[in-house]
Amino acid sequence: MVTTRRIGKYQVGRTIGEGTFAKVKFAQNLENGNSVAIKIMAKSTILKHRMVDQIRREISIMKIVRHPNIVRLHEVLASRTKIYIILEFVSGGELFDKIVHQGRLPENLCRKYFQQLIDAVAHCHSKGVYHRDLKPENLLLDFHGNLKVSDFGLSALPQQGVGLLHTTCGTPNYVAPEVLGQQGYDGAAADIWSCGVILYVIMAGFLPFDEVDLPTLYKKTNAAAFSCPIWFSPGAKSLIQKILDPNPNTRIDINDIRKHPWFHKNYVPIKHREHEDVDLDDVHAVFDDIKEKYVAENSETLEGSPLMMNAFEMITLSQGLNLSPLFDRGLDHVKRQTRFVSRKPAQVVISSIEDVGKSMGLKVHTLNFKTRIEGISANKAGQLAVVLEMFEVAPSLFMVDVRKAAGDTLEFHKFYKDLCSKLEHIILKPAEHLASASLLRTMTC
Protein backbone atom coordinates (compact mmCIF):
# COMPACT_ATOMS: atom_id res chain seq x y z
CA MET A 1 0.00 0.00 0.00
CA VAL A 2 1.43 3.37 -1.00
CA THR A 3 0.10 6.78 0.02
CA THR A 4 0.39 10.02 -1.91
CA ARG A 5 -0.95 13.25 -0.52
CA ARG A 6 -1.26 17.00 -0.61
CA ILE A 7 -0.31 19.34 2.20
CA GLY A 8 -2.00 22.66 1.58
CA LYS A 9 -0.90 23.79 -1.88
CA TYR A 10 1.96 21.26 -2.06
CA GLN A 11 1.86 17.86 -3.79
CA VAL A 12 4.09 15.59 -1.71
CA GLY A 13 6.42 13.06 -3.38
CA ARG A 14 9.38 10.91 -2.45
CA THR A 15 11.36 11.00 0.80
CA ILE A 16 14.72 12.73 0.27
CA GLY A 17 16.02 12.73 3.85
CA GLU A 18 15.34 10.92 7.08
CA GLY A 19 16.56 11.41 10.63
CA THR A 20 15.65 10.61 14.22
CA PHE A 21 13.09 13.38 14.61
CA ALA A 22 12.03 14.30 11.08
CA LYS A 23 11.57 13.23 7.48
CA VAL A 24 12.21 15.47 4.50
CA LYS A 25 10.08 14.97 1.40
CA PHE A 26 10.24 16.40 -2.08
CA ALA A 27 7.11 18.36 -3.04
CA GLN A 28 5.77 20.58 -5.80
CA ASN A 29 4.02 23.90 -5.25
CA LEU A 30 0.85 23.41 -7.29
CA GLU A 31 0.31 27.17 -7.66
CA ASN A 32 3.62 27.99 -9.38
CA GLY A 33 5.20 24.59 -10.17
CA ASN A 34 8.29 25.23 -8.04
CA SER A 35 10.07 22.42 -6.22
CA VAL A 36 10.29 22.54 -2.42
CA ALA A 37 11.47 20.29 0.39
CA ILE A 38 9.10 19.68 3.29
CA LYS A 39 10.56 18.82 6.69
CA ILE A 40 7.90 16.86 8.58
CA MET A 41 7.96 16.45 12.36
CA ALA A 42 5.44 14.77 14.62
CA LYS A 43 4.20 17.04 17.41
CA SER A 44 4.16 14.09 19.81
CA THR A 45 7.87 13.47 19.18
CA ILE A 46 8.74 17.14 19.67
CA LEU A 47 6.81 17.25 22.96
CA LYS A 48 8.17 13.91 24.17
CA HIS A 49 11.78 15.01 23.69
CA ARG A 50 11.10 18.56 24.91
CA MET A 51 12.28 20.06 21.63
CA VAL A 52 9.59 22.73 21.23
CA ASP A 53 11.89 25.65 22.02
CA GLN A 54 14.73 24.26 19.87
CA ILE A 55 12.50 23.71 16.82
CA ARG A 56 10.84 27.09 17.24
CA ARG A 57 14.28 28.73 17.46
CA GLU A 58 15.54 26.92 14.34
CA ILE A 59 12.49 27.95 12.33
CA SER A 60 12.68 31.57 13.50
CA ILE A 61 16.41 31.77 12.73
CA MET A 62 15.97 30.39 9.22
CA LYS A 63 13.34 33.04 8.54
CA ILE A 64 15.57 35.79 9.87
CA VAL A 65 18.71 34.86 7.90
CA ARG A 66 17.52 35.26 4.30
CA HIS A 67 20.49 35.18 1.94
CA PRO A 68 21.23 33.63 -1.49
CA ASN A 69 23.79 31.28 0.11
CA ILE A 70 21.47 30.08 2.88
CA VAL A 71 18.69 27.53 2.37
CA ARG A 72 15.47 29.55 2.39
CA LEU A 73 12.52 28.74 4.62
CA HIS A 74 9.32 29.66 2.77
CA GLU A 75 6.64 29.03 5.39
CA VAL A 76 5.50 26.82 8.26
CA LEU A 77 2.26 24.82 8.30
CA ALA A 78 0.68 22.46 10.80
CA SER A 79 -1.92 19.74 11.01
CA ARG A 80 -3.35 18.41 14.25
CA THR A 81 -0.46 15.97 14.59
CA LYS A 82 2.45 17.31 12.53
CA ILE A 83 4.51 20.41 11.75
CA TYR A 84 5.57 21.08 8.15
CA ILE A 85 8.57 23.32 7.42
CA ILE A 86 8.54 24.33 3.74
CA LEU A 87 12.13 24.80 2.54
CA GLU A 88 13.92 25.67 -0.67
CA PHE A 89 14.68 22.47 -2.63
CA VAL A 90 18.45 22.22 -3.17
CA SER A 91 19.19 19.57 -5.80
CA GLY A 92 22.99 19.38 -5.87
CA GLY A 93 23.62 17.37 -2.72
CA GLU A 94 26.06 17.85 0.15
CA LEU A 95 29.50 19.36 -0.30
CA PHE A 96 30.69 16.38 1.77
CA ASP A 97 29.54 13.98 -0.97
CA LYS A 98 31.57 15.89 -3.54
CA ILE A 99 34.70 15.53 -1.39
CA VAL A 100 34.04 11.81 -0.79
CA HIS A 101 33.81 11.11 -4.52
CA GLN A 102 36.42 13.54 -5.87
CA GLY A 103 38.86 13.97 -3.01
CA ARG A 104 40.41 17.43 -2.77
CA LEU A 105 38.86 20.09 -4.99
CA PRO A 106 40.62 22.58 -7.33
CA GLU A 107 41.82 25.68 -5.50
CA ASN A 108 39.74 28.12 -7.57
CA LEU A 109 36.59 26.11 -6.83
CA CYS A 110 37.52 25.99 -3.13
CA ARG A 111 37.93 29.76 -3.17
CA LYS A 112 34.46 30.20 -4.71
CA TYR A 113 32.82 27.95 -2.09
CA PHE A 114 34.73 29.66 0.72
CA GLN A 115 33.73 33.12 -0.50
CA GLN A 116 30.08 32.07 -0.56
CA LEU A 117 30.40 30.46 2.89
CA ILE A 118 31.94 33.59 4.40
CA ASP A 119 29.25 35.78 2.83
CA ALA A 120 26.52 33.56 4.33
CA VAL A 121 28.17 33.41 7.76
CA ALA A 122 28.77 37.18 7.76
CA HIS A 123 25.07 37.71 7.03
CA CYS A 124 24.12 35.43 9.93
CA HIS A 125 26.44 37.29 12.28
CA SER A 126 25.00 40.63 11.16
CA LYS A 127 21.63 39.32 12.38
CA GLY A 128 23.11 38.14 15.69
CA VAL A 129 22.90 34.48 14.64
CA TYR A 130 25.75 32.00 15.22
CA HIS A 131 25.51 28.64 13.44
CA ARG A 132 27.78 26.56 15.75
CA ASP A 133 27.71 23.42 13.57
CA LEU A 134 29.36 24.43 10.30
CA LYS A 135 30.74 21.41 8.42
CA PRO A 136 30.66 20.10 4.82
CA GLU A 137 27.63 17.91 5.59
CA ASN A 138 25.62 21.06 6.39
CA LEU A 139 26.68 22.80 3.18
CA LEU A 140 24.53 21.99 0.14
CA LEU A 141 25.06 22.76 -3.54
CA ASP A 142 22.28 23.99 -5.80
CA PHE A 143 21.69 23.13 -9.46
CA HIS A 144 24.16 25.83 -10.55
CA GLY A 145 26.88 24.69 -8.13
CA ASN A 146 26.39 27.51 -5.63
CA LEU A 147 26.81 26.83 -1.92
CA LYS A 148 23.86 26.91 0.51
CA VAL A 149 24.25 26.77 4.29
CA SER A 150 21.67 24.54 6.01
CA ASP A 151 20.78 22.98 9.37
CA PHE A 152 20.44 25.72 11.97
CA GLY A 153 19.40 23.26 14.69
CA LEU A 154 22.34 24.22 16.94
CA SER A 155 22.31 27.93 16.12
CA ALA A 156 22.27 30.51 18.87
CA LEU A 157 20.72 33.94 19.31
CA PRO A 158 22.50 35.48 22.34
CA GLN A 159 20.20 36.85 25.00
CA GLN A 160 20.07 40.61 25.30
CA GLY A 161 23.03 41.87 27.33
CA VAL A 162 24.89 38.53 27.13
CA GLY A 163 28.09 38.65 25.09
CA LEU A 164 29.39 35.08 25.38
CA LEU A 165 27.84 31.68 24.65
CA HIS A 166 28.34 28.78 27.07
CA THR A 167 26.82 25.68 25.44
CA THR A 168 29.30 23.12 24.15
CA CYS A 169 28.00 21.80 20.84
CA GLY A 170 28.98 21.02 17.27
CA THR A 171 31.05 18.31 15.58
CA PRO A 172 34.42 17.72 17.38
CA ASN A 173 36.64 17.92 14.28
CA TYR A 174 35.21 21.33 13.36
CA VAL A 175 34.78 22.86 16.83
CA ALA A 176 36.96 25.77 17.96
CA PRO A 177 39.16 25.02 21.00
CA GLU A 178 37.56 27.71 23.17
CA VAL A 179 34.14 26.07 22.76
CA LEU A 180 35.45 23.15 24.80
CA GLY A 181 36.47 25.40 27.69
CA GLN A 182 34.32 26.55 30.58
CA GLN A 183 34.79 30.32 30.28
CA GLY A 184 32.31 31.03 27.48
CA TYR A 185 33.14 31.87 23.88
CA ASP A 186 32.39 34.33 21.11
CA GLY A 187 30.02 32.70 18.61
CA ALA A 188 31.42 34.68 15.66
CA ALA A 189 35.03 33.62 16.32
CA ALA A 190 33.93 30.00 16.82
CA ASP A 191 32.10 29.96 13.46
CA ILE A 192 35.18 31.43 11.74
CA TRP A 193 37.33 28.58 13.09
CA SER A 194 34.87 26.05 11.63
CA CYS A 195 35.04 27.86 8.27
CA GLY A 196 38.82 27.49 8.35
CA VAL A 197 38.57 23.75 8.96
CA ILE A 198 36.10 23.48 6.06
CA LEU A 199 38.47 25.36 3.74
CA TYR A 200 41.31 23.04 4.74
CA VAL A 201 39.17 19.93 4.15
CA ILE A 202 37.96 20.87 0.67
CA MET A 203 41.49 21.84 -0.40
CA ALA A 204 43.25 18.85 1.18
CA GLY A 205 40.64 16.10 1.01
CA PHE A 206 41.21 15.28 4.70
CA LEU A 207 40.89 16.92 8.13
CA PRO A 208 43.57 19.10 9.76
CA PHE A 209 42.76 17.57 13.16
CA ASP A 210 41.73 13.90 13.05
CA GLU A 211 42.37 11.54 15.97
CA VAL A 212 40.65 8.35 17.11
CA ASP A 213 40.19 9.57 20.69
CA LEU A 214 38.75 12.90 21.80
CA PRO A 215 41.46 13.85 24.37
CA THR A 216 44.16 13.66 21.71
CA LEU A 217 41.98 15.51 19.22
CA TYR A 218 41.34 18.32 21.72
CA LYS A 219 45.03 18.53 22.59
CA LYS A 220 46.00 18.96 18.92
CA THR A 221 43.20 21.45 18.34
CA ASN A 222 44.27 23.57 21.31
CA ALA A 223 47.85 23.59 20.03
CA ALA A 224 46.77 24.13 16.40
CA ALA A 225 49.02 21.18 15.61
CA PHE A 226 48.43 20.86 11.86
CA SER A 227 50.42 21.26 8.66
CA CYS A 228 49.32 22.28 5.17
CA PRO A 229 49.92 19.91 2.22
CA ILE A 230 52.54 20.97 -0.34
CA TRP A 231 49.87 21.72 -2.97
CA PHE A 232 48.39 24.57 -0.91
CA SER A 233 49.33 27.91 -2.44
CA PRO A 234 51.19 30.37 -0.16
CA GLY A 235 48.11 32.60 -0.06
CA ALA A 236 45.75 29.81 0.99
CA LYS A 237 48.24 28.56 3.60
CA SER A 238 48.60 32.09 5.02
CA LEU A 239 44.83 32.57 5.36
CA ILE A 240 44.22 29.14 6.92
CA GLN A 241 46.94 29.72 9.50
CA LYS A 242 45.33 33.04 10.46
CA ILE A 243 41.92 31.37 10.81
CA LEU A 244 43.08 28.29 12.73
CA ASP A 245 44.55 30.40 15.50
CA PRO A 246 43.64 28.75 18.83
CA ASN A 247 43.44 32.17 20.49
CA PRO A 248 40.04 33.67 19.58
CA ASN A 249 41.29 37.15 20.51
CA THR A 250 43.98 37.13 17.81
CA ARG A 251 42.11 34.98 15.27
CA ILE A 252 41.35 36.78 12.01
CA ASP A 253 37.80 38.13 11.74
CA ILE A 254 35.48 38.21 8.74
CA ASN A 255 36.36 41.77 7.72
CA ASP A 256 40.06 40.90 7.52
CA ILE A 257 39.30 37.59 5.78
CA ARG A 258 37.56 39.55 3.03
CA LYS A 259 40.59 41.82 2.71
CA HIS A 260 43.05 38.92 2.44
CA PRO A 261 44.60 38.74 -1.09
CA TRP A 262 43.82 35.02 -1.53
CA PHE A 263 40.16 35.49 -0.60
CA HIS A 264 39.75 38.69 -2.60
CA LYS A 265 40.79 37.14 -5.92
CA ASN A 266 37.76 37.02 -8.29
CA TYR A 267 35.51 37.92 -5.36
CA VAL A 268 32.11 39.30 -6.38
CA PRO A 269 29.82 39.91 -3.39
CA ILE A 270 26.25 38.75 -4.01
CA LYS A 271 23.68 41.52 -4.11
CA HIS A 272 20.61 40.89 -2.00
CA ARG A 273 18.07 42.74 0.08
CA GLU A 274 19.88 43.51 3.34
CA HIS A 275 16.75 44.63 5.19
CA GLU A 276 14.12 42.23 3.93
CA ASP A 277 10.99 42.19 6.06
CA VAL A 278 10.53 38.94 7.97
CA ASP A 279 7.08 37.71 8.92
CA LEU A 280 7.04 35.27 11.86
CA ASP A 281 3.25 35.11 12.11
CA ASP A 282 3.09 31.54 10.80
CA VAL A 283 5.70 30.42 13.35
CA HIS A 284 3.72 31.99 16.18
CA ALA A 285 0.51 30.43 14.86
CA VAL A 286 2.00 26.93 14.78
CA PHE A 287 3.48 27.05 18.26
CA ASP A 288 1.10 29.38 20.10
CA ASP A 289 -2.29 28.45 18.71
CA ILE A 290 -1.71 24.95 17.39
CA LYS A 291 -5.27 23.67 17.83
CA GLU A 292 -6.90 26.36 15.73
CA LYS A 293 -4.53 26.47 12.77
CA TYR A 294 -4.05 23.41 10.60
CA VAL A 295 -3.89 22.47 6.93
CA ALA A 296 -5.80 19.85 4.99
CA GLU A 297 -4.05 16.56 4.30
CA ASN A 298 -5.60 14.74 1.35
CA SER A 299 -4.45 11.15 0.86
CA GLU A 300 -4.88 8.75 -2.01
CA THR A 301 -4.08 5.10 -1.34
CA LEU A 302 -2.72 2.77 -4.00
CA GLU A 303 -2.08 -0.92 -3.37
CA GLY A 304 0.28 -3.58 -4.64
CA SER A 305 3.06 -1.67 -6.39
CA PRO A 306 5.87 0.81 -5.75
CA LEU A 307 5.13 4.52 -5.98
CA MET A 308 5.17 5.73 -9.59
CA MET A 309 7.57 8.65 -9.99
CA ASN A 310 6.19 11.29 -12.33
CA ALA A 311 8.14 13.14 -15.01
CA PHE A 312 8.44 16.29 -12.92
CA GLU A 313 10.18 14.39 -10.11
CA MET A 314 12.49 12.58 -12.53
CA ILE A 315 13.58 15.86 -14.08
CA THR A 316 14.48 17.28 -10.67
CA LEU A 317 16.78 14.28 -10.15
CA SER A 318 18.62 14.95 -13.40
CA GLN A 319 20.93 17.61 -14.76
CA GLY A 320 18.56 19.86 -16.72
CA LEU A 321 16.24 17.95 -19.03
CA ASN A 322 18.77 15.25 -19.86
CA LEU A 323 17.62 12.22 -17.90
CA SER A 324 20.64 10.02 -18.63
CA PRO A 325 22.44 11.13 -15.41
CA LEU A 326 19.79 9.15 -13.53
CA PHE A 327 21.71 6.10 -14.68
CA ASP A 328 25.26 7.52 -14.78
CA ARG A 329 27.25 6.41 -11.76
CA GLY A 330 29.92 9.00 -12.58
CA LEU A 331 27.62 11.88 -11.62
CA ASP A 332 26.53 10.62 -8.20
CA HIS A 333 28.80 13.10 -6.43
CA VAL A 334 26.44 15.95 -7.28
CA LYS A 335 23.39 14.28 -5.76
CA ARG A 336 22.29 14.11 -2.16
CA GLN A 337 21.26 10.46 -2.62
CA THR A 338 22.78 7.49 -4.36
CA ARG A 339 20.59 5.25 -6.49
CA PHE A 340 20.52 2.31 -8.87
CA VAL A 341 18.12 0.98 -11.51
CA SER A 342 16.79 -2.54 -12.13
CA ARG A 343 14.52 -4.32 -14.58
CA LYS A 344 13.94 -7.24 -12.22
CA PRO A 345 10.43 -7.63 -10.72
CA ALA A 346 9.80 -5.37 -7.74
CA GLN A 347 9.53 -8.24 -5.26
CA VAL A 348 12.81 -9.72 -6.52
CA VAL A 349 14.58 -6.40 -5.98
CA ILE A 350 13.19 -6.05 -2.44
CA SER A 351 14.04 -9.66 -1.54
CA SER A 352 17.57 -9.27 -2.87
CA ILE A 353 18.09 -6.10 -0.80
CA GLU A 354 16.77 -7.85 2.32
CA ASP A 355 19.04 -10.87 1.78
CA VAL A 356 22.13 -8.70 1.34
CA GLY A 357 21.32 -6.65 4.43
CA LYS A 358 20.90 -9.77 6.55
CA SER A 359 24.10 -11.29 5.15
CA MET A 360 25.93 -8.19 6.42
CA GLY A 361 24.63 -8.85 9.92
CA LEU A 362 22.28 -5.86 9.91
CA LYS A 363 18.65 -5.49 10.96
CA VAL A 364 16.25 -5.31 8.00
CA HIS A 365 12.67 -4.08 7.95
CA THR A 366 10.49 -3.58 4.82
CA LEU A 367 7.13 -1.85 4.47
CA ASN A 368 5.46 -0.50 1.31
CA PHE A 369 8.52 -1.06 -0.90
CA LYS A 370 10.71 0.87 1.52
CA THR A 371 13.48 -1.01 3.35
CA ARG A 372 15.36 0.23 6.42
CA ILE A 373 18.73 -1.41 7.16
CA GLU A 374 20.50 -0.58 10.40
CA GLY A 375 23.16 -1.77 12.82
CA ILE A 376 26.12 -0.68 14.92
CA SER A 377 28.63 1.22 12.79
CA ALA A 378 31.98 -0.31 11.94
CA ASN A 379 33.86 2.12 14.18
CA LYS A 380 31.45 1.47 17.09
CA ALA A 381 30.79 5.21 17.28
CA GLY A 382 27.04 4.94 16.82
CA GLN A 383 24.20 3.61 14.71
CA LEU A 384 24.32 3.35 10.92
CA ALA A 385 20.87 3.40 9.33
CA VAL A 386 20.12 3.35 5.60
CA VAL A 387 16.74 3.65 3.87
CA LEU A 388 16.14 2.19 0.40
CA GLU A 389 12.96 3.23 -1.39
CA MET A 390 11.75 1.84 -4.72
CA PHE A 391 10.04 3.86 -7.46
CA GLU A 392 8.59 2.69 -10.78
CA VAL A 393 9.93 5.17 -13.35
CA ALA A 394 8.58 3.28 -16.39
CA PRO A 395 6.74 -0.01 -16.94
CA SER A 396 8.91 -2.75 -15.37
CA LEU A 397 11.74 -0.27 -14.77
CA PHE A 398 12.49 0.44 -11.12
CA MET A 399 14.78 2.94 -9.44
CA VAL A 400 15.98 2.35 -5.88
CA ASP A 401 16.88 5.50 -3.97
CA VAL A 402 19.45 4.86 -1.21
CA ARG A 403 19.91 7.47 1.51
CA LYS A 404 21.53 7.75 4.91
CA ALA A 405 19.11 8.01 7.85
CA ALA A 406 21.72 7.99 10.62
CA GLY A 407 25.44 7.58 11.09
CA ASP A 408 28.64 8.78 9.43
CA THR A 409 28.43 9.92 5.80
CA LEU A 410 31.76 8.39 4.79
CA GLU A 411 30.70 5.03 6.28
CA PHE A 412 27.41 5.30 4.38
CA HIS A 413 29.26 5.66 1.08
CA LYS A 414 31.38 2.59 1.92
CA PHE A 415 28.18 0.67 2.75
CA TYR A 416 26.59 1.73 -0.54
CA LYS A 417 29.61 0.56 -2.55
CA ASP A 418 29.56 -2.82 -0.77
CA LEU A 419 25.79 -3.10 -1.26
CA CYS A 420 26.02 -2.49 -5.01
CA SER A 421 28.78 -5.08 -5.40
CA LYS A 422 26.49 -7.66 -3.79
CA LEU A 423 23.49 -6.62 -5.94
CA GLU A 424 25.24 -6.81 -9.32
CA HIS A 425 22.82 -9.51 -10.47
CA ILE A 426 19.82 -7.13 -10.30
CA ILE A 427 21.40 -3.75 -11.19
CA LEU A 428 21.27 -2.59 -14.81
CA LYS A 429 24.69 -2.78 -16.45
CA PRO A 430 26.18 0.39 -18.03
CA ALA A 431 25.43 -0.83 -21.56
CA GLU A 432 21.75 -1.08 -20.66
CA HIS A 433 21.57 2.42 -19.12
CA LEU A 434 21.50 4.27 -22.44
CA ALA A 435 18.49 2.36 -23.71
CA SER A 436 16.63 2.94 -20.44
CA ALA A 437 17.49 6.63 -20.42
CA SER A 438 16.30 6.96 -24.01
CA LEU A 439 13.01 5.36 -23.03
CA LEU A 440 12.55 7.84 -20.18
CA ARG A 441 13.40 10.82 -22.38
CA THR A 442 10.78 9.67 -24.89
CA MET A 443 8.19 9.34 -22.12
CA THR A 444 8.84 12.78 -20.59
CA CYS A 445 9.25 14.96 -23.71
* Residues contributing to the annotated binding site: 48
Residue 359, SS3 per DSSP: helix
Q: List alpha helices for 7-106, DSSP H.
A: 43-48, 52-64, 95-102
Whole-angstrom Cα distance, residue 164 to residue 156?
11
DSSP bridge partners of 383: 376
Type of residue numbered 171: T
Element at 257 (helix H, strand E): helix 254-259
Whole-angstrom Cα distance, residue 72 to residue 140?
12
Instruction: Give residue 320's region: left, alpha or beta (phi > 0; psi -120 to 50).
Output: left
CA 193 remoteness from chain centre: 21
With contact defined as beta carbons under 8 Å apart, do 190 and 124 qualify? no
Torsion angle of the four alpha carbons 219, 224, 226, 229, in this order, in degrees rounded to the nearest 10:
160
For the question of residue 133 being annotated catalytic, the response is yes
Enumerate the known binding-site residues for ATP: 48
Q: Using alpha carbons, select from 77, 112, 87, 119 the residue that is nearest to residue 98.
A: 112
Q: Which of 97, 119, 133, 191 is catalytic?
A: 133
The residues annotated as belonging to the active site are 133
